[in-house]
Amino acid sequence: MLLPGTASDELFVRSVFEGPLRTVGIQLVAPRPVPGKTLAETHLRALDDMAERPVLAGGISLGAHLAVEWALANPGRCAGLLLALPAWNGSPGDAPAAVSARLSAQAVREHGLDATLATVDAEPWLTAELSRAWRRAEPGLADSLDVAATRPAPELTDLTRITVPTGIAGCSDDLVHPIEVAKRWASTISNAQLCTTTLRALGNDRESLGRAAVLAWLKAVGVTRMEQPI
């Protein structure tokens, strides 16, 4: 089960991960988020409901943070982790993703969704993704953004407790989710591997991020050769 980022949705998760996971024989489960103040808790409950047996968990950005939070609380129920674009450790503070979420929440409340989207300075593909996901998240969008702006991510000391095979993916040119964070996660989790891509590649091919995470996880599992490329 893979969770979306703060104000993203299950449609983006599917576009990123469904193909790469299918190639290695794994069926993706991507729950639709329930926007609002309890966004994180509903994601964690979805993992609880899914995990009748050990599950491969993960997510993108905030979804990756929550998957690790759940794995730490349920070590016997997590079979592995797929973590894309982790954004910070510990308190969000002035982490770029947290600042962006905080400012976006303020703008939506003060100026409305359309006006806020009109000011987004991003590549056309990302603007289109935000427009779809943010409109689907209303009227809980601003509260969802507040969740990301305030919720702590796992501390590095927490990550040392993760022992399951973990695949981490980062974009080397992503200023909102700095690649240094992904590198720290990969060097701290004992059985983790990191594969990287770029936002440019992600814009052209959503699965590039999913392939990076799945390839990293396969390396952590110990698979060094695939009969079929992903």
Spell out the per-residue pLDDT of the chain, length 230, in tens.
Answer: 999 999 899 999 999 999 999 999 999 999 999 999 999 999 999 999 986 789 999 999 999 999 999 999 999 999 999 999 999 999 999 999 999 999 999 999 999 999 999 999 889 999 999 999 999 999 999 999 999 999 999 999 999 999 999 999 999 999 999 999 999 999 999 999 999 999 999 999 999 999 999 999 999 999 865 555 56
Distances (CA, A) of 133 to 109, 119, 185: 17, 16, 27
**Structural contact between residues 68 and 77, judged by C-beta atoms closer than 8 angstroms:** no
Residue 7 is predicted with a pLDDT of: 87
β-sheet bridge partners, residue 192: 166
Q: Which two tokens stand for residue 135?
A: 């409109």
Written as six digits, the tokens of 100 are: 């962006």
Contact in structure between 167 and 213 (CB atoms under 8 Å):
yes
Judge: domain 2-89+154-221, CATH 3.50.50.60.
no
pLDDT of residue 13: 98
Note the helical H segments in the chain: 10-23, 39-50, 62-73, 96-111, 113-118, 124-137, 141-150, 156-159, 179-188, 199-204, 207-221
The pTM (predicted TM-score) of the whole model is 0.95
pLDDT of residue 50: 84
Domains of the chain, residue spans: 2-89+154-221
Predicted pLDDT of residue 53: 83
Residues 6+ apart with CB under 8 A from 38: none
